[in-house]
């Protein structure tokens, strides 16, 4: 579990400001990261009893949770979810927590990504049991190592830009790396980083890679209905 906004402030308090992106710049990296969260019939965010606020990082994660929820709660009501950005979810949680300091929050990762996370974490030196537990309890972001810089020149002219891609999807990043490695002298590998690891990187780095890093959303809004 992670409070992105709160964590950024905590890290900045112990890190040299010259080495950090501004909090707004860090938050912007997650503004387009879409998650699903439970809502009631009117579309208002729903706090689940004995669970709290929940963010699902895939439709599959939401569907599997809904099955378990109905069994444990005995409810036959429709389990509704709605998309919102991760920063909006975090803001809503902090607002709700101000009224109930014991309010909990759960991030539910995409089950389809768990095997890849476990394998990559083990390659990164994490023991199998710890890798399995971490992969099942928090979402991970896949990034190339070394980072890949993609230069983009607008077709109609304009200012060129650079993007440093990462994603919650193992497949999309693996395909990108396979293409890069076909012509690379030194092969690029894929690594899995927790959300907290990613926030730490963004907060502690002031270089161009941190500024240009783009995290692809795990959920496309057009696919959530």
Q: Per-residue pLDDT averaged across 133-155, rounded?
A: 93
Domain of residue 91: give its range: 4-223
pLDDT higher than threshold 50 for residue 61: yes
Q: Per-residue pLDDT averaged across 10-33, rounded?
A: 67
pLDDT higher than threshold 90 for residue 198: yes
* Separation between Cα atoms, residue 48 and residue 69, nearest integer Å: 9
Angle between helices 4-14 and 195-204 (to 10 degrees): 40
Read off the pLDDT band of 157 (50, 70, 90). Answer: confident
Given this model, what pLDDT does residue 222 score?
A: 65
pLDDT higher than threshold 60 for residue 8: no
> In this prediction, what percent of the chain has a pLDDT beyond 70?
89
Q: With H, G, I as helix, E, B as strand and everything else as coil, classify residue 96.
A: helix
Contact 70, 79 (CB under 8 A): yes
Q: Is the pTM of this model over 0.85?
A: yes
**What's the number of domains the chain is made of?**
1
pLDDT higher than threshold 90 for residue 40: yes
Contact 30, 85 (CB under 8 A): yes
CATH number at residue 103: 3.40.1350.100
Given this model, what pLDDT does residue 20 score?
A: 60
**Dihedrals phi, psi of 100, to nearest 5 degrees:** -145, 95
Read off the pLDDT band of 204 (50, 70, 90). Answer: confident
Given this model, what pLDDT does residue 2 score?
A: 47
Q: Tokens for 168? A: 């919650």
> Per-residue DSSP letters for 51-64?
TBEEEESSHHHHHH
pLDDT higher than threshold 70 for residue 4: no
DSSP state of 47: P
Q: Per-residue pLDDT averaged across 44-67, rounded?
A: 96
Given this model, what pLDDT does residue 218 score?
A: 96
């Amino acid at each position: 579990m992670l409070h992105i906004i709160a964590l950024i402030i905590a890290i900045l308090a112990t890190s040299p400001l010259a080495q950090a992106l501004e909090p707004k710049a860090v938050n912007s990296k997650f503004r387009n990261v879409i998650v699903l969260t439970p809502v009631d019939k009117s579309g208002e965010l729903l706090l689940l009893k004995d669970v709290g606020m929940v963010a699902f990082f895939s439709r599959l994660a939401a569907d599997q949770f809904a099955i378990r929820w109905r069994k444990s709660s005995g409810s036959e009501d429709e389990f509704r979810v709605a998309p919102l950005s991760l920063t909006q979810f975090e803001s809503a949680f902090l607002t709700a927590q101000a009224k109930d300091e014991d309010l909990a929050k759960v991030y539910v990762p995409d089950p389809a990504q768990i095997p890849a996370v476990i394998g990559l974490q083990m390659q990164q030196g994490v023991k199998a049991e710890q890798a399995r537990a971490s992969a099942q309890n928090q979402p991970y972001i896949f990034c190339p190592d070394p980072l890949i810089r993609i230069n983009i020149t607008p077709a109609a002219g304009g200012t060129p830009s650079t993007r440093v891609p990462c994603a919650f999807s193992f497949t999309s990043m693996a395909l990108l790396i396979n293409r890069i490695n076909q012509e690379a002298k030194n092969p690029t590998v894929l690594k899995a980083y927790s959300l907290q690891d990613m926030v730490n990187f963004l907060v502690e780095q002031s270089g161009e890679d941190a500024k240009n890093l783009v995290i692809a959303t795990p959920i496309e809004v057009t696919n959530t209905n």
